[in-house]
Structure 1
Amino acid sequence: MSTMESRNTLRRYFRNARNALSAQQQKNAAAAILDQIKLFIPASIKRAALYLANDGEPDLTPLIMYCWQYNIATSLPVLHPFTKKHLLMLNYTDQTVMRKNRFGIAEPALECQAIRLTVHHDVIFMPLVGFDKEANRLGMGGGFYDRTLANVCHSPLRPKLIGIAHDCQQTDSLPIQPWDVPLDAIITPTQIIQPNNSLE
């Protein structure tokens, strides 16, 4: 089996696993993930990029509400209108006008003045399909985050990159590709995994 076939097989397995979780399990996971994030991310951060859950992903609504409560500005990803398979980060508040993108996922309506550069975030929380004990991330296969964040690791203003997942999405070892953007940590309801070379 090729690396690509192996990755696609893992994607199907982990998507089925997270979609099999009950509504109560999802609710419990969302609360537990927020508790883990509070332990890991300093309260002094000014801006965080998050996502709206889809396809069984952990719900970050409690984290979004927490950020707003403590005056932490929030952004959401938007499909880039011109650059294929890239994302823009747009400011997100409870007043933001939303629309559905071509995948049926809600995102802020595109407004130039709402765009926030990736390097202007203290932390970027991103979904994933699978992960391993070295904090390697397996995405959905579109490469949106990998392309968008390809140069972030070389920026002097570097946000922390945090993957969010359910525990059922873990495997011992993932087949990694050269374009996979390394994460600083992966947070689940029960653990915080950091690679050995993670930046402090």
Structure 2
Amino acid sequence: MASDLQERKTAIRRDALARRAAMAPAERIEASLVVCDRIAERVDARPDVVSGFLPIRSEIDIRPLMTAFADRRARLCVPAIVDGELQFRELVRGAPLEPQGFGTHAPGADAAILDPDLMLVPLAAFDRRRGRVGYGRGYYDRAIAALRAKELSPFLIGVAFACQEAPAVPMDAHDVPLDLIVTEREVIAP
């Protein structure tokens, strides 16, 4: 049963990432900017700590949005992979970044570790129920569970291109639906 669920997730991930990779670079840039604007307009309060991510491959680029949150005086962090788990390290302009594997980078071990109250979550695929298929390692699922174990409840915004939508995303017991998913076409909310 679990292997069937994993096989379905793998197929959904593969197909959604192929659609994303097929986007023209200019189309990805424009769509990324639209998503950043939608989120900046929707999140009118100033979150204290925002976790984002630095894009890899054909992933959506939310760096303009992260800059907008920094301009609102939010502290920024990005995930670092430490002993197989995510650690949200403060992202400070000009500080050196270190490779994390998977083609991404994060601040070094001397950076402050933060607990985000707003998380901009990357994904491979999503559905209308705000279900998410990640990249298959469970990093974000475990990170969200760890934050909730500390009695923290970060607001979870999935960011993606509309072409990454799947008809239905299979959900494991540990999978957490996102609060919102924002694409260049729309905001999917409860």
Partner of 1:33: 35
Q: Which residue pairs with 1:135 in the alignment?
A: 130
TM-score normalised by structure 2 residue count: 0.92
1:88 alignment partner in structure 2:
87
* Counterpart residue number, 1:144: 139
User: What is the rounded CA distance, in whole Å, between the counterparts of 2:93 and 2:30 in structure 1?
Assistant: 24
- The one-letter amino acid paired with 1:164 is V
> What displacement does 1:125 show?
0.5
For residues 99 and 65 of structure 2, the distance between their equivalents in structure 1, rounded to whole angstroms, comes to 22
| Length, aligned pairs only | 188
Percent identity for Structure 1 against Structure 2: 28
Listed as ranges, the gaps of 5+ residues in structure 1 are 196-200
Say whether the 8 Å CA contact 1:74–1:93 is kept in structure 2.
yes
The residue type paired with residue 18 of structure 1 is: R
Describe the SS at the equivalent of 1:149.
helix
SS of the residue corresponding to residue 25 of structure 1 reads helix
Alignment of 1:47-196 (within 5 A): 47-80=49-82, 82=83, 84=84, 86-111=85-110, 114-116=112-114, 118=115, 121-153=116-148, 156-195=151-190
Superposed CA RMSD in Å reads 1.7
Shift of 1:151: 4.1
| Structure 2 unmatched ranges of 5 or more | none
Do 2:129 and 2:177's aligned partners in 1 also have CA atoms closer than 8 Å? Answer: no
| Structure 2 Cα separation of the partners of residues 30 and 48 of structure 1 | 18
Query: 1:155 deviation in Å?
Result: 5.2
Distance 2:132 2:119 in 1: 14
Q: TM-score, with normalisation over the residues of structure 1?
A: 0.87
Aligned to 1:44: 46
Q: Which amino acid aligns with 1:93?
A: V
| Paired residue type of 1:190 | R
CA contact (8 A) 1:15 1:55 kept: no
Q: 1:75 to 1:173 in 2, by over 3 A?
A: same
Structure 2 partner of 1:198: none
Map Cα deviations across residues 143-171 of structure 1 (whole Å, 9 max, x no partner): 00011111444654421011111000002
**What letter corresponds to residue 123 of structure 1 in structure 2?**
L
